[in-house]
Amino acid sequence: MQTFSSILKKPDTKGGLTFIELPFNPAKVFNVSKGTIKVYGTINGVEYRNKLISRGNGLYIMTVDKALQKRIVFTGEDLKIEVTMNLDESAMQGSGKRENVEKHTCDMDVLTAIKTRRSIRIFKSEEIEKSKIQTILEAGFCAPTAKNKRPWYFIVTRNKDFLTNLIKVDAGQSNYLPLACADCCIIVCGDKSIQGVTEFLLEDCSAAAQNMLLAAHGLGLGATWCSLPRASKRNKYACEFYNLSDKVIPLAIIALGYPAEEKEFAPRYDETKVHWEIGEEYPAE
């Protein structure tokens, strides 16, 4: 781990970058011969994850975006900072670290999948193949995220003790029926140290959750998005059971299984909820 002190300054020009100049060459120190250098560490004790920008001749900077500025309480006045920095090897290995996923495809077109997906809450006892779970996870990993931060972790669990207790905690607060008979569940967690803006964290993870519901449906599986409200006992229980750091928050739990119920397609297009302002009349099609 590298540590250094610096002074964070307001940019010279309006709209300019707020950044930290590194007092060492990270390519040499971290032994990185090519590609983007990704790092994590702390600034005045506040955790960050970021990538470095080369300015040539071994000089590198790290930008400090608005969210991080807020977290380290940088108001624009010169701020003395103590920085720790490590190479973020897992982020740099990226997809290279992934297991080879047996690719499943489906014949359903994307619009049909979106329109016919329904929450399935009753499942058969049949086990879902690991490759199908991986295909569902891959759909989650493909979701769009603010600034492409991909701030998620997915916990795939068949742990009956965990699921039984999760249903009991806060019993009656929500419909956890799907968790009771699911073959397995995916807990979608967001990492605040990767995505510091809470709205983005929720949106990123929700996009991943929706992708996974659609992928499950496309594979002929059933799924239900179950809530894990932030301040609830069950959220706390999930954090404790999986020993999550206080930066990692479980946001949803998706119950998965082979469906034991069928649901009709229910049309939902509602013209009264749409405001058209496109400045022209379309001729009838």
Ligand X SMILES: Cc1cc2nc3c(=O)[nH]c(=O)nc-3n(C[C@H](O)[C@H](O)[C@H](O)COP(=O)(O)O)c2cc1C
Query: Which of these ranges, 13-21, 106-114, 117-125, 182-190, lies near ligand X under the rule CB under 6 A?
Result: 117-125
Q: Any idea what DSSP says for residue 282? A: P
Q: Does 121 bind ligand X (CB under 6 A)?
A: yes
Interface with ligand X in residues 159-178 (CB under 6 A):
174-175, 178
Q: Does 118 bind ligand X (CB under 6 A)?
A: yes
Interface with ligand X in residues 191-230 (CB under 6 A):
224-227
* Cβ partners under 8 Å of residue 59, min gap 6: 21, 22, 25
CB 223 within 8 A of CB 212: yes
Q: If residue 249 lies in a helix (H) or strand (E), which one and from where to where?
A: strand 248-257
Q: Does 116 bind ligand X (CB under 6 A)?
A: no
> How far, in Å, CA of 184 to CA of 223, rounded?
10
Q: Does 44 bind ligand X (CB under 6 A)?
A: no
Which position among 6, 84, 116, 119 is part of the footprint of ligand X (CB under 6 A)? 119
Q: Does 232 bind ligand X (CB under 6 A)?
A: no
Q: Does 132 bind ligand X (CB under 6 A)?
A: no
Q: If residue 138 lies in a helix (H) or strand (E), which one and from where to where?
A: helix 130-141
CB 18 within 8 A of CB 74: yes
- The residues with which 225 forms a beta bridge, in sequence order, are 254
Cβ 191 to ligand X shortest distance, Å? 19
Cβ 175 to ligand X shortest distance, Å? 4
Taking alpha carbons only, the member of 85, 93, 95, 9 closest to residue 48 is: 85
| Contact residues: ligand X, CB under 6 A | 118-119, 121, 174-175, 178, 224-227
